[in-house]
Amino acid sequence: MANARSAELYDGFKAKLEAVSGECYRVETEEEAGKLIGTILKDKGVQNVALLEGEVSKKGNFAQQLKFMNIDVMSDNFRKVTPDAQAGITQVSYAIAELGTLVQADDDANVDQRLCSTLVPIHVAVIRTEKLLPSLAETMSTIHRLPRIPGFVGFITGPSRTSDIERVLTIGVHGPQQLIVVFVD
């Protein structure tokens, strides 16, 4: 993969995400991703996390690494645990550089993906760098080209927000207050 191209897309994504109060990181390996996430969560004082295992988290031994850092890891029974979990970790399908947007498009419309990313105050999204798409238009056609359009496709751009009272922007309403994105090369 052309590195210059992915660096450009990544930089674009990062700038856009930070403009809407999201945090953005990039690491080389799955292992490093787990470590970084542990450090970030510790820093934020997080003691437990709902982890929806994905291909990256498994390879990177997220569960073990986090436990090692004294963070409680819950990886099933999500309907029960997510309402009180302090953070959630999921792997998402795509990212759109043009907008700083994450795309959840699991082919089975996994309900746990949504619980772990919506009910928790901090959402950590893991994604493969190669899944970065340049634009909204390309993302739409990529989704449409899938064998079938997933039952649930969610675009996420930054934490949840409202300006419903006096037009003053407030971060964190029904969804997460913080969004952390970790790209894994």
Q: Which residues bind other proteins (CB under 8 A)?
A: 16, 20, 79, 83, 99-101, 108-111, 114-115, 118-119, 136-137, 140-141, 143-144, 149-168, 170, 172-176
- Kindly state the smallest distance separating residue 2's Cβ from other proteins, in Å: 23
Query: Contact at 8 Å (CB) between 78 and 116?
Result: yes
Q: How far is CA 127 from the centre of its chain?
A: 7
- Kindly state the smallest distance separating residue 29's Cβ from other proteins, in Å: 30
Would you say 81 or 126 has its CB closer to other proteins? 81
Would you say 48 or 142 has its CB closer to other proteins? 142
Helix (H) or strand (E) holding 30: helix 30-43
Would you say 33 or 102 has its CB closer to other proteins? 102
Would you say 121 or 128 has its CB closer to other proteins? 121
- Kindly state the smallest distance separating residue 24's Cβ from other proteins, in Å: 16
Q: How far apart are CA 9 and CA 6, in angstroms?
A: 5
- Kindly state the smallest distance separating residue 173's Cβ from other proteins, in Å: 4
Helix (H) or strand (E) holding 102: strand 101-104
Q: How far apart are CA 173 and CA 185, in angstroms?
A: 32
Give me Rg for the CA atoms of the chain. Answer: 16
